[in-house]
């Protein structure tokens, strides 16, 4: 049976953080912090905890292109990173096959595009050579425009010269982060969201730094209460917020470690562009033309199949105009992505009215003076990572990306195990994220006979948590009712998000746990009913219920301000 991971769990974990010193405290509940705490928990012999200032994955880790990929465009600059990324993709597909799913990508080539088709074809063969995923994922080139259109849907063919098919993987980044954290929780890690790092507490100098206990001051965001957390080692896995932590480090030397130039990436969610055949939908990669018309350099963007018959289009490379916690799509960025998508799908009407949702994130790009590879940052930004330790003993994880989070964690825990003088057993490349038996996945679970519930979908989405959801329905058949006729989510799943996935707010549920915020209407029509239902089940008073709805509405209005 799935382990509880709820607001009650959170409260108990905060008590533990207040009273029991840790071996390692991880700051940051995005995908990198999640990977790190999971590796620490699976290693054994290490008491580890994690705090996140907002909801899990509420920053960059829920705002990606939803890809686990080798980084085809990095082949020209950083083949070693591509090799590592391809290997990590294979590992993630193996340990989380229901979350990380293979997806074909069609790289389109039109007259005037910057790279010749034959060059893309050669790079694709090499890209495939780096993968061990089998014959089903072999790259191929198609030069017949009509065949390409038959495969991909009503794309523009007037100047189409061909396309190359490669394979990467798609995922729901927020759910991958959550599954990773839950696995760490089930192996004993002390994890909580909505706890903000405030500062490092002053420590007396001791001759034996290996036994030194570091302390930080933290704040429970939901109550405003402040408290101290003690740990032998503090690790910052805060992505683009890393310099916020570094500036409070007693060793801070005034030198930032990250850059924000070209770090913001936005995406727009549209009704499905293209088509879906029996083998699934293709993602598209196109070379943009907007920059070339102004004498600049073309760049690549994705048009990817999303859930619930949508497409995700992105991304951009701009400089955030606001605080990192407040990044959102600008009118110019939206117009840019719409224009390029309209060029590829001329038969569709793609304007602001067609946009279902927008979202934005900031990449943790390493500053040039910190880049161990010595890359020149004119037209290429490395997605490599860097693990450092400040003179005061705080460890920092810089850079990286969703695909390589597990390897970043493995390297970090190698160092931590040596520091803590404990045996090192990395199990994250072989231990599944979903604890579901083969019999269950084959439809032989004891509850699978319930015809009113799509048990297979629940298994794939929640792992062993499906058993708890079915128990909720067994106890109250009304919980099998869908939240809305247009979406598959049941009321029991809403309850499970709070019992088994540590959702705290309505926004957590609609924007990250279910992605209802990424569907037509963005959940604004059903938010009051959902909040009322959750309020009755979670003992929220009417003031809390109204506030949750209003906060979610304000979030959506703010995101859509520039549309």
Residue 404 shares a structural domain with residue 442: no
Q: What is the pLDDT of residues 319-358, one digit of tens each?
A: 988 788 789 999 999 999 999 999 999 999 999 999 999 9
Residue 306 shares a structural domain with residue 287: yes
Q: How far apart are CA 39 and CA 26, in angstroms?
A: 12
Q: What is the pLDDT of residues 487-529, one digit of tens each?
A: 999 999 999 999 999 999 999 999 999 999 999 999 999 999 9
Strand-pairing partners, residue 208, are none
| CATH code where residue 23 lies | 3.50.50.60
Q: How far is CA 200 from CA 224, 246, 392, 555, in A?
A: 18, 10, 10, 31
**H or E element: which one contains 335?**
helix 331-344
Query: Which of 61, 555, 57, 28 has the alpha carbon at shortest distance from 326?
Result: 555
Q: How far apart are CA 505 and CA 232, in angstroms?
A: 32
Lowest mean pLDDT among 183-192, 230-239, 273-282, 400-409: 273-282
Residue 248 shares a structural domain with residue 266: no
Does residue 80 sit within a domain? Answer: no
Residue 399 shares a structural domain with residue 454: no
Q: Enumerate residues 6+ apart whose C-beta is below 8 A from 434.
A: 96, 98, 99, 179, 463, 464
| CATH code where residue 488 lies | 1.10.8
Reported as a pLDDT band with limits 50, 70 and 90, residue 49 is very high
Among 296, 331, 363, give the residue marking a domain's end. Answer: 363
Share of the chain above pLDDT 90, in %: 73
Does residue 553 sit within a domain? Answer: yes
Reported as a pLDDT band with limits 50, 70 and 90, residue 115 is confident
Q: Enumerate residues 6+ apart whose C-beta is below 8 A from 164.
A: 106, 107, 109, 117, 120, 121, 124, 139, 140, 141, 142
- Decide: helix, strand or coil at residue 248: coil
- Decide: helix, strand or coil at residue 271: strand
Does residue 156 sit within a domain? Answer: yes
Is 60 exceeded by the pLDDT of residue 447?
no
Does residue 205 sit within a domain? Answer: yes
Residue 278 shares a structural domain with residue 331: yes
Please answer whether residues 156 and 343 qualify as being in contact, where contact means their C-beta atoms are separated by less than 8 angstroms: yes
Q: What is the pLDDT of residues 227-280, one digit of tens each?
A: 999 999 999 999 999 999 999 999 999 999 998 888 999 999 999 997 665 446
Cis peptide before 215 (omega within 30 of 0): no
Residue 344 shares a structural domain with residue 302: yes
Residue 180 shares a structural domain with residue 160: no
Please answer whether residues 457 and 489 qualify as being in contact, where contact means their C-beta atoms are separated by less than 8 angstroms: no
Residue 13 shares a structural domain with residue 42: yes
Please answer whether residues 245 and 238 qualify as being in contact, where contact means their C-beta atoms are separated by less than 8 angstroms: yes
Among 333, 363, 393, give the residue marking a domain's end. Answer: 363
Reported as a pLDDT band with limits 50, 70 and 90, residue 436 is low
Predicted confidence at residue 74, as pLDDT, reads 80
DSSP H helices, 137-253, are 145-152, 173-186, 242-246
Residue 150 shares a structural domain with residue 269: yes
Q: What is the pLDDT of residues 367-390, one digit of tens each?
A: 875 544 433 333 434 457 899 999
Does residue 213 sit within a domain? Answer: yes
* Average pLDDT over every residue of 152-173: 94
How many structural domains compose the chain? Answer: 3
Domain that holds residue 506: 438-559
Lowest mean pLDDT among 66-75, 163-172, 292-301: 292-301
Strand-pairing partners, residue 50, are 26, 191
| CATH code where residue 278 lies | 3.30.9.10
Residue 412 shares a structural domain with residue 448: no
Does residue 69 sit within a domain? Answer: no
Residue 126 shares a structural domain with residue 166: yes
Reported as a pLDDT band with limits 50, 70 and 90, residue 142 is very high
Does residue 93 sit within a domain? Answer: no
Does residue 430 sit within a domain? Answer: no
378-382: list long-range contacts, CB under 8 Å, 24+ apart.
Answer: 379/297, 380/76, 380/77, 381/262, 381/317, 382/77, 382/78, 382/81
Please answer whether residues 448 and 437 qualify as being in contact, where contact means their C-beta atoms are separated by less than 8 angstroms: no
Residue 279 shares a structural domain with residue 163: yes
Dihedral angle sign, alpha carbons of residues 82, 135, 306, 489:
negative
Query: Which of 527, 531, 472 has the alpha carbon at shortest distance from 496?
Result: 472
Average pLDDT, the chain: 89
Predicted confidence at residue 75, as pLDDT, reads 80
Range ranked top by mean pLDDT from 117-131, 178-192, 246-260, 282-296: 178-192
Query: Which of 247, 241, 165 has the alpha carbon at shortest distance from 199?
Result: 247
Q: How far is CA 107 from CA 31, 119, 164, 401, in A?
A: 28, 12, 5, 22
Please answer whether residues 284 and 344 qualify as being in contact, where contact means their C-beta atoms are separated by less than 8 angstroms: yes
Q: 356-393 as b/e, with b when 16 or more CB fall inside 10 Å? A: bbbbbbbbbbbbeebbeeeeeeeeebbbbbbbeebeeb
65: left (phi over 0), alpha (psi -120 to 50) or beta: alpha
Q: How far is CA 546 from CA 97, 496, 540, in A?
A: 39, 21, 10
Q: How far apart are CA 365 and CA 262, in angstroms?
A: 9
């Amino acid at each position: 049976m799935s382990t509880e991971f709820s607001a009650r769990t959170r409260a108990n974990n905060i008590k533990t953080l207040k009273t029991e010193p840790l071996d390692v405290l991880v700051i940051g509940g995005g995908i990198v912090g999640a990977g790190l705490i999971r590796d620490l928990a699976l290693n054994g012999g290490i008491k580890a905890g994690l705090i996140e200032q907002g909801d899990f994955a509420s920053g960059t880790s829920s705002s990606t292109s939803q890809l686990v990929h080798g980084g085809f465009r990095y082949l020209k600059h950083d083949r070693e990173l591509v090799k590592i990324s391809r290997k990590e993709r294979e590992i993630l597909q193996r340990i989380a096959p229901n979350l990380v799913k293979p997806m074909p990508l069609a790289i389109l080539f039109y007259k005037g595009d910057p790279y010749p088709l034959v060059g893309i074809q050669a790079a694709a063969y090499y890209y495939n050579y780096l993968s061990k995923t089998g014959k089903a994922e072999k790259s191929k080139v198609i030069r017949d425009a009509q065949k390409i259109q038959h495969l991909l849907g009503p794309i523009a063919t007037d100047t189409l010269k061909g396309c190359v098919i490669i394979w990467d993987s798609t995922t729901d980044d927020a759910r991958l982060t959550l599954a990773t954290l839950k696995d760490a929780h089930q192996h004993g890690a002390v994890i909580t969201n909505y706890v903000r790092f405030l500062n490092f507490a002053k420590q007396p100098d001791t001759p034996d730094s290996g036994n030194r206990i570091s302390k930080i001051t933290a704040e429970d965001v939901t109550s405003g209460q402040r408290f101290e957390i003690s740990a032998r080692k503090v690790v910052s896995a805060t992505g683009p917020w890393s310099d916020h932590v570094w500036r409070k480090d007693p060793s801070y030397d005034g030198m930032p470690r990250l850059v924000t130039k070209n770090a913001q990436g936005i995406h727009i969610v549209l009704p499905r562009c293209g088509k879906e055949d029996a083998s699934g939908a293709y993602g598209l990669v196109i070379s943009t033309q907007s920059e070339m018309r102004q004498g600049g350099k073309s760049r690549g963007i994705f048009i990817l199949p999303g859930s619930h018959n949508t497409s995700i289009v992105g991304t951009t490379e701009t400089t955030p105009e606001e605080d990192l916690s407040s990044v959102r799509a600008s009118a110019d960025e939206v117009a840019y992505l719409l224009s390029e998508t309209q060029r590829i799908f001329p038969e569709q009407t793609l304007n602001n009215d067609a946009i279902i949702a927008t979202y934005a994130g900031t990449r943790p790009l390493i500053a040039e003076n910190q880049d161990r590879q010595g890359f020149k940052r004119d037209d290429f930004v490395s997605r490599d990572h860097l693990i450092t330790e400040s003179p005061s003993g705080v460890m920092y994880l810089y850079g990286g990306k969703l695909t390589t989070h597990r390897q970043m964690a493995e390297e970090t825990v190698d160092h931590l195990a040596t520091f803590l003088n404990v045996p090192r057993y990395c199990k994250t490349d072989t231990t599944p994220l979903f604890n579901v038996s083969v019999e269950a996945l084959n439809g032989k679970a004891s509850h699978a006979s319930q015809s009113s519930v799509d048990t297979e979908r629940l298994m794939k989405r929640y792992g062993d948590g499906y058993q708890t959801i079915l128990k909720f329905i067994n106890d109250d058949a009304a919980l099998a009712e869908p939240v809305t006729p247009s979406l598959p989510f049941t009321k029991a799943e809403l309850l499970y998000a709070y019992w088994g996935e540590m959702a705290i707010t309505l926004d957590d549920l609609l924007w990250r746990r279910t992605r209802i915020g990424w569907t037509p209407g963005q959940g604004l029509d059903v938010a009051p009913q959902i909040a009322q239902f959750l309020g009755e089940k979670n003992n929220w008073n009417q003031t809390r219920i109204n506030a949750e709805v209003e906060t979610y509405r304000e979030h959506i209005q703010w995101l859509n301000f520039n549309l």
